[in-house]
Amino acid sequence: MTADRFDRNVRFFGRSGQERLGRTTVAVVGAGGTGSHVIQQLAFLGVGGLRIIDEEELDISNRNRLVASLFTDPIPGTLKVDIAKRLVNSIDPNIAVETFPVSLITVHGFEAVKASDFVFGCVDKEGPRLVLAELCAAYKRGLFDVATDIEVQDQPRYGGRVCVALNGDGCPLCLGVLDSAEAGIDLGPRTTR
């Protein structure tokens, strides 16, 4: 790592701020289209550690938005967390990367979040988003809930949001940006047809 790499960061955060970033561990829940961009930017910023949580494998539909997915990555057979780790290592191999190819809603998923300083939630569904918000509030982990969406019905709609909840205060549900009815469906019993 050269001293020049973080020059702009140091001018903005100060030397002590950059050093703090280098000691910070961030959990990213969801390594898909949005999560892969967040992971890339955290690596460029120079965080000290990343815990990447995502149970999914690369799918053909991910190729238009998943940073660092390669044409040669087998589908199925390539975990999104492995693509993310490869991306981080290509930016800065000194960043400690731990991968968790599991659902957030597992002991390992919870432990990875609890052991981090900050959390970025980049999940697609309201159920895991609600669980993550509650987990971060309970353990006073700063949560950055990041969401993007494209809906194609009569008229295409697109949008996104960033919701920040720090020190256990505020959450996507409290701020009215999380649909509790949809979360209930996501977290409810699975039905078979």
Where in the chain are the domains?
3-187
| pLDDT tens digit sequence for 12-22 | 999 999 999 99
Calculate what percentage of the chain has a pLDDT beyond 70.
85
Calculate what percentage of the chain has a pLDDT beyond 90.
63
Alpha-carbon gap, residue 115 to 91, rounded angstroms:
23
pTM: 0.87
Greatest CA span in the chain, whole angstroms? 59
Give residues with Cβ within 8 angstroms of 27, minimum separation 6. 50, 51, 52, 53, 112, 113, 115, 116, 118, 119, 120, 141
The burial class, CB within 10 Å (0-12 / 13-18 / 19+), for 139 is middle
* Residue 162 reports pLDDT greater than 90: no
Closest C-alpha to 180, from 125, 140, 101: 125
Q: What is the pLDDT of residue 127?
A: 85
Kindly tell me the number of DSSP H helices and DSSP E strands found in the chain.
Answer: 6, 6
Mean pLDDT of 151-161: 73
pLDDT band at 152 (very low <50, low <70, confident <90, very high): confident
| pLDDT tens digit sequence for 32-53 | 999 999 999 999 999 999 999 9
**Average pLDDT over all residues of the chain:** 88
Give residues with Cβ within 8 angstroms of 81, minimum separation 6. 31, 52, 53, 54, 99, 100, 101
Secondary-structure class of domain 3-187 per CATH? alpha beta
CB 18 within 8 A of CB 10: yes
Q: How many CA atoms are closer than 13 Å to the CA of 124, on its beta-carbon side?
A: 9
